[in-house]
């Protein structure tokens, strides 16, 4: 599929286009956090603690007098970083194992799929909680653990694509011309298997952001005073009855971010589907 046809199909889907615009805006806000944030996100002002939204603090302040808007803007950097690094690691592991299983088959396929099934037997959230509990909570540990425990879906997806593609005429022709296994994988099979992986990775970013927020809310993710949306939710839960803005705005940011990536993922799936 050429780029022009893909862009035309994607742009024809209004919800996907809205999601893409929101994702781009989040990237811009994250990149310009230092200029957009009106205050230092970690600077306390005890005199202004729990101030409601006003002209001085548009989204109010928290229990330490820190500006909620500034912390929300800086928190977008952490959330996006966790999402993309974790999904990058997940996709890399899934591609390697799925490629080996689908292309070589036999014993290699059996061993990789048994390991994949064993990983799937454990509920992912409980597995991540168990690993994080044994390590020091930090942003890098969160990204690595999410990446190492979420690759199974990508591996199974790539394996299925390779099993289908390796028996196609173009693959048999390339093999008959003397193409090596590495060349077949890199130049013939992998490019044709990347479309569903791209969709899975886009949806995975939303899942990783949501998972990081959950871990931070439970105190097992990024640690205070670093501003993340999960930490902000955890800080606001004790004041939900008299400072609604502490939980509402970070919750809304998580909702919009996850929804945007899901819309983009759905749009990519439909735009890349050759049956459409």
With H, G, I as helix, E, B as strand and everything else as coil, classify residue 227: coil
Take residue 76 and report the two structure tokens written for it.
Answer: 């977008």
For 58-125, the DSSP string reads TT-B-TT--BHHHHHHHHHHHHHHHHHHHHHHHHHHHHHHHHHHHHH-HHHHHHHHHHHHHHHHS-HH
Residue 170 lies in a domain: yes
CA-nearest of 206, 205, 199 to 258 is 206
Residue 34 lies in a domain: no
Residue 239 lies in a domain: yes
With H, G, I as helix, E, B as strand and everything else as coil, classify residue 43: coil
Return the CA Rg of the chain: 22
Count of domains for the chain: 1
**Residue 168 phi, psi (nearest 5):** -75, 160
CATH code for the domain of 205: 1.10.3720.10
User: What's the rounded Cα separation, in Å, for the pair 158 and 171?
Assistant: 16
Residue 40 lies in a domain: no
> Can you give the pLDDT at residue 274?
61
Residue 50 lies in a domain: no
Residue 155 lies in a domain: yes
CA-nearest of 206, 233, 231, 205 to 220 is 231
Is the separation of the CB atoms in 25 and 32 below 8 Å? no
Residue 240 lies in a domain: yes
Q: Which sign, positive or negative, has the C-alpha torsion 9, 13, 14, 20?
A: negative
**For each of the chain's 276 residues, which pLDDT tens digit applies?**
567 777 888 888 889 899 999 999 988 998 898 889 888 888 888 888 888 898 888 998 988 889 999 999 998 888 888 888 888 999 999 999 999 999 898 899 999 999 998 888 877 777 777 777 777 777 788 888 888 888 898 999 999 989 888 888 888 888 888 888 888 888 888 888 888 888 888 888 888 888 888 888 877 777 777 888 888 888 888 888 888 998 899 999 999 998 999 899 888 888 876 655
251: containing domain? 71-272
The most distant pair of C-alpha atoms in the chain lies apart, rounded to whole Å, by 77
With H, G, I as helix, E, B as strand and everything else as coil, classify residue 67: strand
User: What's the rounded Cα separation, in Å, for the pair 10 and 124?
Assistant: 32
- What pTM did the predictor assign? 0.83
């Amino acid at each position: 599929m050429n780029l022009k046809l893909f862009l035309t199909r994607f742009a024809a889907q209004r919800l996907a286009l809205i999601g893409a615009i929101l994702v781009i805006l989040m990237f811009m806000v994250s990149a310009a956090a230092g200029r957009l944030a009106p205050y230092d996100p970690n600077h306390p002002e005890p005199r202004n603690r729990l101030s409601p939204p006003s002209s001085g603090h548009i989204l109010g302040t928290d229990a330490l007098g820190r500006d909620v808007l500034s912390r929300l803007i800086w928190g977008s950097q952490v959330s996006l970083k966790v999402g993309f690094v974790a999904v990058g690691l997940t996709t890399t592991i899934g591609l390697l194992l799925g490629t080996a299983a689908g292309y070589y088959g036999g014993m290699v396929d059996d061993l990789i799929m048994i390991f994949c099934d064993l990983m799937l037997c454990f509920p992912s959230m409980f597995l991540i909680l168990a690993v994080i509990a044994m390590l020091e909570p930090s942003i890098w540990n969160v990204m690595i653990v999410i990446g190492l425990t979420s690759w199974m879906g990508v591996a199974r997806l790539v394996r299925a694509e390779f099993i289908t593609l390796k028996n196609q005429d173009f693959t048999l022709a390339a093999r008959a011309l003397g193409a090596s296994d590495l060349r077949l994988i890199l130049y013939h099979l992998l490019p044709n298997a990347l479309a569903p992986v791209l969709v899975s990775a886009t949806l995975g970013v939303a899942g990783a952001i949501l998972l990081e927020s959950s871990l931070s809310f439970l105190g097992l993710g990024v640690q205070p005073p670093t501003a993340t949306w999960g930490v902000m939710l955890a800080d606001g839960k004790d004041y939900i009855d008299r400072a609604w803005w502490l939980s509402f705005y970070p919750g809304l940011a998580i909702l919009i971010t996850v929804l945007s990536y899901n819309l983009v993922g759905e749009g990519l799936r439909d735009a890349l589907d050759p049956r459409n």
